[in-house]
Chains A and B, each alone.
Chain A
Amino acid sequence: MQTYKIRRISGTRKNGVTVPSLCTLDAALKFDSTESPHCVYNEYVAHRLAQTLHAPVAEGVLTTTGDGQAYASLLLHSPGINLPDVLDPQLDRIAQMYPDMAAALVAFDLFIGNGDRARNLKAALVTPHVRLFAAFDHSHALLGVESNPTNSIRKLAEGELIVRRHPFYGRVQAVFLEGWISRIVALSDGYIRECCGMGKPFRAVSEELQQSLADAMIKRKAALPAIVQGYASFIRSRP
């Protein structure tokens, strides 16, 4: 379970049975840019898919800035003091400590075509009472797989591996990975359409593009077992 540190409580409402308080949480604001022209859409859709699947991804919300919508990724490494990003030599230990979460992340990244996982991950390693494993940054997935969204959609739909490198390749246990792949395959088409569709054009992403992405993701979830099977030798843990 991820929790997010309150930066400030700014007041309590006197009315209402639960007497709610107003507070501020820390977040990283992400915008569309030349390098990642569909960043906000990608982050938001990846987050909705992760929520639907219960994949271990940091929470985030849409917000508005002077330039229109932005994505605010809540800082999960913010329990008052920032946590370090994981290091390569720690990956074996993380995969041993969180085998189910590591498999979830591999399956999820394969599904959304996120080839940029790198060290975008926080995990608690030496604190027995703290279970923390959460990934962030999905701007290079979905429509960001290629520089052109049409090519990204084509690659996703055609069942290409896309994720050539991943911190947990060679470290995931088959039993957990298969569980997560099955979960993705079982995802209803309707849920995928809801995750990808905003019901209106969203920044530079037309409704047609949203629809095409949903179609591609529906094809990709069906192709996922074959993708994993085809590359099992380097995705799954080595003896």
Chain B
Amino acid sequence: MIVEYRLLQYREHPERQEGRNFALLARAGGQTHVRAIGMKRNGFIDLNYYRAVAPRQIQEHWVFGEWLQWLQDLAAWDSAWSSESPLVDTLFASLAAQERQIVVTAPRTEEWSGSHDVEVMLDNLEDRLIGTMTKPPEKPFSEWIEETLTTSELVYRKGFSREVEVSFDLPGAKPFITTFPYAITEEPRMGFKTIAFHGAKKDIQQKVNDALLSFQRAVESGFLVKERCIVLTQTIPEVNEIYAAELEELAQLVNVTNKDAPDRLRTLAA
């Protein structure tokens, strides 16, 4: 069986001409097939895999979803693949001329001498040319936080800011200065600290103490009320639950990996 294929590549820096293959468009036995990172056999697309392909473009991963749909539509477009039609060549030549982040390689042909099952052949090509990932890279804590804040729409609140430095005056002492990674500085004000509860115990203790002291000063000064002192966390391991209990006396803990986290934040901000 003869197979002709093209590879779609993502280039972080188009000028360097170095790309990461993320999809395969293969034509064999009069049919066109698509295989891609994050694309299940039923056509479902999981863009979480693209954290490994374009780690610096987290906000733009939706574009890969559009490309995979485009490839599936192109593969199913029978008249584009007729031997008389120059359409596919024209499309890809135009793409190559743009020299942008997503490019396609020139067509290559292979004679497949293994099984006559097209799926087996595609699996083999996919494995060799794109690589298979059993599961997508884990979503980092920072991404969970951004997603929760966006979904809850708190980022659109008036006064929403990042890295807000606040100074609290103390009688007869130097002012206490703290930074809230996120805050809403307009009424009703909210202050956020972020603690992942992973890593060295000393670091966790330090973060917990910083959060406790910061929220204590914020409440004492009237800058925040306890209900709007928020600690954004991931699932807290049992060994660290003692810290969680401490924090809960002064703040609201919101696990951003929970499905209801955006709703919880909305309620707290109401």
**Which A residues are closer than 8 A to B by beta carbons?**
78-85, 87-90, 124-127, 129-130
Tell me, yes or no, whether B74 is within 8 Å of chain A by CB.
yes
**Partner-contacting stretch, out of B56-64, B174-182, B220-228, B235-243:** B56-64
Tell me, yes or no, whether B82 is within 8 Å of chain A by CB.
no
Complex contact A81–B65 (CB within 8 A):
no
User: Chain B residues with Cβ under 8 A from A84's Cβ?
Assistant: 66-67, 70, 95, 102
Complex contact B66–A125 (CB within 8 A):
yes
A133 to B88 Cα, complex, angstroms: 23
User: Chain A residues with Cβ under 8 A from B156's Cβ?
Assistant: none
Complex contact A80–B66 (CB within 8 A):
no
Chain B contact residue count (CB 8 A cutoff): 26
A151 to B36 Cα, complex, angstroms: 50
Min CB distance, A20 to chain B, in Å?
18
Complex contact B62–A127 (CB within 8 A):
yes
**Which B residues are closer than 8 A to A by beta carbons?**
10, 45, 54, 57, 59-60, 62-67, 69-70, 73-74, 76-77, 80, 91, 94-95, 98, 100-102
- Contacts A79-B63, A80-B101, A81-B10; A88 near B69 (Cβ below 8 A): no
Question: What are 10 A-B contacts with C-beta separation under 8 Å?
Answer: A79-B60, A81-B102, A83-B63, A85-B94, A87-B74, A89-B73, A126-B65, A126-B69, A129-B62, A130-B62
Other-chain residue from A80, A85, A89, A90 in contact with B63 (beta carbon distance below 8 A): A80
A78 to B98 Cα, complex, angstroms: 12
User: Chain A residues with Cβ under 8 A from B101's Cβ?
Assistant: 80-82
Complex contact A82–B60 (CB within 8 A):
no
Q: Which residue of B lies closest to A132 (CB)?
A: B66
A83 to B64 Cα, complex, angstroms: 8
User: Chain A residues with Cβ under 8 A from B57's Cβ?
Assistant: 80-81
User: Chain B residues with Cβ under 8 A from A124's Cβ?
Assistant: 62, 66
Q: Which residue of A lies closest to B98 (CB)?
A: A82
Give the most central of B10, B63, B73, B80: most A CB within 10 Å. B63
Min CB distance, A116 to chain B, in Å?
15
User: Chain B residues with Cβ under 8 A from A127's Cβ?
Assistant: 62, 65-66
User: Chain B residues with Cβ under 8 A from A126's Cβ?
Assistant: 45, 65-66, 69
Q: Which residue of A lies closest to B10 (CB)?
A: A81
Min CB distance, A81 to chain B, in Å?
4
